[in-house]
Amino acid sequence: MARFHELTVTDVRKTIRDAVVVSLAPENGADFDFIPGQYLTFRRDFDGTELRRSYSICAGRGDGLLQVGIKRVDGGAFSTWANEALEPGMVIEAMAPMGSFHTPIDPARARNYLGFAGGSGITPVLSILRTVLAEEPRSTFTLVYANKGVNTIMFREELEDLKNLHMGRLNVIHVLEADAQEIELFTGLVDQSKCAALFDHWIDIGSIDRAFICGPEPMMLGIAAALRDHGLSDEQIKFELFASSQPGRIARKPAASGDAGTAARATQATITMDGTARTFEMGKDVTILDAALENALDAPFACKAGVCSTCKCRVLEGEVEMVANHALEDYEVAQGYVLSCQSYPVTDRVVVDYDQ
């Protein structure tokens, strides 16, 4: 299930001081076709410790490139290595593209898209808007891009080039937290009130067919609230949590007080992966993902924080409690899908399938 493929680094280019754009080519002609908005999960060994990190593809579907943007995170081993040591000719490992932050592209449609991006959250949004502009010639895209200052704007030149190439179809609004701009509305944080002001003066929210949001969670929540206040439905709003805000390890769920006997009781788990079912006992204070890994199953995962959906699986029998979910849509949860890194068994027997 968690198959990794070798990719050759063909180019590493600085976009701002602390971020690189990495171009990749699959080894041995492997198929790495992607949907705009998806991400790649990389793995690398650092002094005996395997790290997995996910980075969004920033290239458009028709660009003929496989590219990701990697911004350095304070203390981030993988992002620091990528910014300081990664060079053309090196080979790195990645899973096939994954993620559900996208919408079907239809060349016959004339739609108005609205994107919000914060910092390196621009990467999946850039892939989507590039593809929309190239493949839906009657559609428009408005991007609200939040950064601390001018010198932290990733892909600034690329966005200007796209505006010139697709004249009148791409509108970019830069909102800068620290740098003052001629229009006061474009300075400060992008929050619910800022969005309401933008909708009153700059963006015809009533004409928007689909909105994409990728950035830090507080920003996303404020934007989503504003969009709903102005008439957009949940089906029209797509989320992707900004990768660097991933909290890392999640503490294991504590046993319920006063019910230690129940909490300690083992669950019989059956997990299907690559067409093969394995049954074993696991504790109710262990996640489905950790139990699978402890039993030598090659279960897929990346962030272990409920953000990336790499560990998505479906519960076919029994019940689990998913303690955090920043990746699955409501309809997916209703169909029984869970993030196995965040899911603890509740019933004495659970049956889980990673293949569906």
Task: For residues 176 and 190, give the distance between their C-alpha atoms in angstroms, rounded to a whole number.
Answer: 9
Range of the domain at 149: 112-241
**Do 211 and 113 contact (CB within 8 A), yes or no?**
yes
The answer to whether position 256 is within a domain reads no
- For residues 31 and 140, membership in a common domain is answered with no
The pLDDT, as a whole number, for residue 137 is 97
Task: For residues 279 and 292, give the distance between their C-alpha atoms in angstroms, rounded to a whole number.
Answer: 10
Mean pLDDT, to the nearest integer, of 158-172?
96
Nearest C-alpha neighbor of 340 from the set 280, 52, 40, 315: 315
Q: Could you tell me the pLDDT band of residue 83, with boundaries at 50, 70 and 90? A: very high
Mean pLDDT, to the nearest integer, of 197-223?
94
The answer to whether position 107 is within a domain reads no
Q: How far is CA 281 from CA 99, 149, 277, in A?
A: 30, 53, 14
The pLDDT, as a whole number, for residue 145 is 97
Whether the predicted pLDDT of 73 surpasses 70:
yes
The pLDDT, as a whole number, for residue 132 is 97
Write the pLDDT tens digit of every residue in 169-195: 999 999 999 888 888 999 999 999 999
The answer to whether position 102 is within a domain reads no
Write the pLDDT tens digit of every residue in 50-67: 889 999 999 999 999 999
CATH of the domain at 308: 3.10.20.30
**Do 350 and 325 contact (CB within 8 A), yes or no?**
no
- For residues 125 and 224, membership in a common domain is answered with yes
Q: What is the pTM of this model?
A: 0.84
- For residues 201 and 228, membership in a common domain is answered with yes
- For residues 66 and 122, membership in a common domain is answered with no
Averaged pLDDT of the chain = 90
**Do 309 and 339 contact (CB within 8 A), yes or no?**
yes
Q: Could you tell me the pLDDT band of residue 244, with boundaries at 50, 70 and 90? A: very low
- For residues 196 and 228, membership in a common domain is answered with yes
Write the pLDDT tens digit of every residue in 274-331: 999 999 999 999 999 999 999 999 999 988 888 888 999 999 999 999 998 888 888 8
CATH of the domain at 27: 2.40.30.10
- Helices 217-229, 192-201: inter-axial angle, 10-degree rounding: 40
- For residues 88 and 116, membership in a common domain is answered with no
CATH of the domain at 134: 3.40.50.80
The pLDDT, as a whole number, for residue 255 is 46
- For residues 42 and 157, membership in a common domain is answered with no
- For residues 177 and 277, membership in a common domain is answered with no
Which among 97, 124, 139 is the end of a domain? Answer: 97
Structurally, the chain folds into a number of domains equal to: 3
- For residues 228 and 117, membership in a common domain is answered with yes
Nearest C-alpha neighbor of 116 from the set 218, 41, 44: 218
